[in-house]
Chain A
Amino acid sequence: MSETIKVPTMAEYMAEGKKPEVLFWVGCAGSFDDRAKKITKAFVKLLHSANVDFAVLGTEESCTGDPAKRAGNEFLFQMQAVTNIEVMNAYEIKKVVTACPHCFNTLKNEYPVLGGDYDVMHHTQFLKSLLDEGRLTVEGGKFKGKRITFHDPCYLGRANNVYEAPRDLLKKLEVELIEMKRCKRNGLCCGAGGAQMFKEPEPGNKDVNIERTEDALETKPDIIAAGCPFCNTMMTDGVKNKEKEDSIDVMDVAELIANAQDL
């Protein structure tokens, strides 16, 4: 993909004296990670196709501080939080959507005490609301009848009790949704949370993402659906480790919807 997608920034909106309907919080993975950037683009395409008036913070966005907080660095977390809140409050942000459950959890739960109170949605919740409002159509297209299993991101599921929004969207794709034996509140972590993404695992006899990939492979899926850029990386690595990358794709829910419609 080399075409430029129109992505307005808050600064541009401000210059025109307008306010968007929603701020799209892209997050660090969505901005810099090659795999996650594809998710970001797919989500933006869906926003355009649903005529959502959105903007990003662009160069004014900075890490929410989640990995620093989970690593124990409360100072760095709060410095990040307070800086981000200052920017968002200056733009009088009311509603935020993000494709990263870690950003989602932090913005939604840990920013209010520091003065940043927004209506925060995960992108699967937001897409579900667009669907319910009739602004977005989700159709099976090329995924119709495919076996898909959904891996619950810890920070969306257990952390915030969001289990159904991504599943409702997948069902709309007319796919065969197969649950892993450990799913929803019993879902096994991919191994990336709590800042593990950024360090080598402690000594053990297996990597967590391999354990989780084995759960997914048991369902004999065509596609493993994820709702988190970090889970996506971990599961993609797991599938490669099992040498199944030719037959099994790991895709974000937003990518599935966008690709189904050839957006």
Chain B
Amino acid sequence: MQYIPNILFVIALVAGIGYFIKNIRKVIRNIRLGKDVDRSDDKAARFKNMAMIALGQSKMVRRPIAGILHIVVYIGFIIINIEVLEIIIDGIFGTHRIFSFLGPLYDFLIGSFEILAFLVFVGVILFWTRRNVIKLKRFWNPEMKGWPKNDGNLILYFEMVLMTLFLVMNAADLQLQELGSGHYISAGSYPISQFISPLFEGMSEGSLILLERGAWWLHILGILVFLNYLYFSKHLHILLAFPNTYYGDLKPKGQLDNLEAVTKEVMLMMDPNADPFAAPAEDQAEEGEPEKFGASDVMDLNWAQLLNAYTCTECGRCTSECPANQTGKKLSPRKIMMDTRDRLKEVGDNIDKNGSFVDDGKQLLNDYISTEELWACTSCNACVEACPVSISPLSIIMDMRRYLVMEESAAPTDLNNMMSNIENNGAPWPFNQMDRVNWSKE
């Protein structure tokens, strides 16, 4: 009977981690639905980006208040995980504070965890205040209504509760240590929970053990629930920020990729020796149906764009910098990323249900992202510059414009006029190419 807690713990741990891995594999599968794009070049620059941007938070601190608060919560969460390691070992083997043999180092570690936990708690309260009391505009854009708003707050509540449980657990432990109760050996230092501990003075040993164990169990179960909540929320960035910054685009921001499929056709058209009536060569014929130009659904995007979508944590810095959004246009770069992720999840669920994707009569274009949003973009790269984790909403907008123009001929009339001018006169305005140097004679 004495092993029941150990067994229950191992079951919870295996179930929690197992379910998480199952869902992460879905994320990876969904990202791989995207087209291939080569991001294997210049590994040194990629590691540097990951170290600076994800690990070093270099772009977060461009907005100092949010940036510093975020660093506190980020460092707190990473370091407090050392404590989670102890909790897991204790849970499996039924030990208590297994690392306490470290002596003064252990005191230092526990003390640091407590201070960090407190700072995280304060940071999270301030984050919550920014969202709900100060009501920063970027958290109240139209796309933040309903679930995205609740999701953001729920994550903050989770973190508040986890930090509280950790400190309550230590405070009860401290009382038990002072009582000299059972295996509650005197270890650790408690710079924060020593102030909570007096609240529990006069409680019986049994109640204290119940409190300590209760907080301990709820804390670790809470961590496992939170881990599994990631997949259903916007919060995957705590993991995906690392691969996303690593695989981020290294080209100058102004450089759009040149569609290779188009290059082939253009070269053929320009080749005076090409026979326009020739049957396709055998290797070409095997390729099957001609490639679709641009993107109308998530499968038309590349995997890096889909990874971008899963990485977005809806902070809205992109949208708050977007000139179109600031002037009241419908476009919000954050919504582009949210829509891409939501549609990708829908496609993933469809695959889970049917074995492979079955047409659901929906697509990213129009069902999620309207043409009005796409045509409002000035391609100024403010959103790309603003993103703290190297996401490019612009590349998705451009791929969707490509689909609209090349597959649907659905450009706004003004742009069609501009393009026919380029085709006919070599300039976006109706001027004759032969007049190009007239300016020197005027």
Given contacts A105-B255, A159-B253, A202-B330, contact A4 B441 (CB under 8 A): yes
Asked if B422 contacts A67 (CB within 8 A), the reply is yes
Asked if residues B427 and A28 are in contact (CB atoms below 8 Å), the reply is: yes
Which A residues are CB-close (under 8 A) to B438? 31
* Pairwise interchain contact B436-A75, C-beta atoms closer than 8 A: no
**Residue tally, chain B, CB below 8 Å to A:** 69
B413 smallest CB distance to A (angstroms): 8
Could you say which of A88-96, A107-115, A128-136, A247-255 contacts chain B? A107-115
CA distance A200 to B411 in the complex (A): 12
B436 near A109 (CB under 8 angstroms)? Answer: no
A259 contacts the other chain (Cβ, under 8 Å)? no
Given contacts A31-B439, A63-B428, contact A109 B255 (CB under 8 A): yes
Expressed in whole angstroms, the minimum distance between the Cβ of A119 and any Cβ of chain B is 15
Contact B256 A63 (CB under 8 A): no
Q: How far is the CA of A109 from the CA of B259 in the complex (A)?
A: 14
Q: A7-B440, A75-B406, A78-B263 are in contact. Are A199 and B415 (CB under 8 A)?
A: yes
CB of B378 within 8 Å of the partner chain: yes
Q: Is B401 part of the binding interface, using a Cβ–Cβ cutoff of 8 Å? A: yes
- Is B124's CB within 8 Å of the partner chain A? no
A137 at the interface (CB under 8 A from B): no
Contact status B378-A191, CB under 8 Å: yes
Interface with A: B115-123, B157-165, B264-272, B304-312, which one?
A: B264-272
Using known A-B contacts A31-B437, A59-B437, A72-B294, determine if residue A211 contacts B324 with beta carbons closer than 8 Å: no
**B393 interface contact, C-beta 8 A:** no
B258 touches A72 (CB 8 A): no
* Other-chain residue from B258, B326, B372, B419 in contact with A211 (beta carbon distance below 8 A): B326
Q: Report the bound CA distance from A192 to B428 in whole Å.
A: 13
Q: Does A110 contact B255, Cβ atoms closer than 8 Å?
A: yes
Name the distance in Å between A160's Cβ and chain B's nearest Cβ. 5
The verdict on A63 contacting B415 (CB below 8 Å), with A78-B262, A158-B253, A194-B379 known, is: no
Stretch from A36-44, A164-172, A236-244 at the B interface: A36-44
Among B251, B253, B323, B434, which residue has its beta carbon within 8 angstroms of that of A188? B323
Q: In the complex, A222 Cα to B437 Cα: how many Å?
A: 32
Which of B12-20, B280-288, B380-388 lies at the interface?
B380-388
Whether B252 lies near A71 (C-beta < 8 A) is no
Given A72-B401, A109-B254, does the pair A203, B372 have CB atoms closer than 8 Å? yes
Residues of A within 8 A of B400 (CB): 72
Q: How far is the CB of A212 from chain B (nearest CB, A)?
A: 8
* Interface positions of B from 389 to 442, Cβ below 8 Å from A: 398, 400-406, 411-412, 414-415, 417-419, 422-423, 426-429, 431, 433-442
Interchain CA distance A158-B269 in the complex, whole Å: 35
A63 & B427 in contact (Cβ 8 Å cutoff): yes
Complex Cα distance, B380 from A173, in Å, reads: 29
Complex contact A70–B329 (CB within 8 A): no
Contacts of B435 in A (CB 8 A): 31-32
Verify B254–A202 contact, CB threshold 8 A.
no
Known: A7-B437, A204-B327. A72 touches B398 (CB 8 A): yes
Q: Say yes or no: is A68 at the interface (Cβ < 8 Å to chain B).
A: yes
Min CB–CB distance B245 → chain A (angstroms): 17
Q: With the chains together, A65 CA to B372 CA distance in Å?
A: 23
A58 is an interface residue with CB less than 8 A from chain B:
yes
Residues of B within 8 A of A206 (CB): 326-328
The residue on A at minimum CB distance from B412 is A199
Contact with A along B289-311 (1 / 0, CB 8 A): 00001100000000000000000
Interface pair B418/A67, CB less than 8 Å apart: yes
Contact yes or no, A69 B256, CB < 8 A = yes
B residues less than 8 Å from A212 (CB atoms): 323
Least Cβ distance of A124 to chain B in Å? 16
Q: Would you give the 0/1 interface string for A137-177, flagging 1 where the beta carbon is closer than 8 Å to chain B?
A: 00000000000000000110011110000000000000000
The answer to whether B379 and A70 touch across the interface, beta carbons within 8 angstroms, is yes
Q: Which residues of A contact B293 (CB under 8 A)?
A: 74
A185 at the interface (CB under 8 A from B): yes
0/1 string, B204-237, CB within 8 A of A gives 1: 0000000000000000000000000000000000
Q: Which of A175-189 contact B (CB under 8 A)?
A: 185-186, 188-189
A76 touches B423 (CB 8 A): yes
**6 cross-chain pairs, A with B, having the tightest CB-CB distances, nearest first:** A159-B254, A194-B379, A72-B401, A205-B328, A62-B426, A189-B380
A-to-B contact residues, CB < 8 Å:
1-2, 4-7, 9, 26, 28, 30-33, 37, 40-41, 44, 56, 58-59, 61-63, 65, 67-80, 82-83, 86, 105, 108-110, 113-114, 154-155, 158-161, 185-186, 188-189, 191-208, 210-212
- Known A-B contacts: A186-B321, A194-B380, A203-B330. Give 12 more (CB < 8 A): A37-B439, A63-B422, A75-B266, A78-B262, A82-B267, A105-B254, A109-B252, A110-B255, A189-B382, A191-B378, A199-B414, A211-B326
Interface pairs (9), CB distance under 8 Å: A26-B439, A28-B431, A63-B428, A71-B405, A71-B415, A73-B405, A158-B384, A188-B326, A191-B378
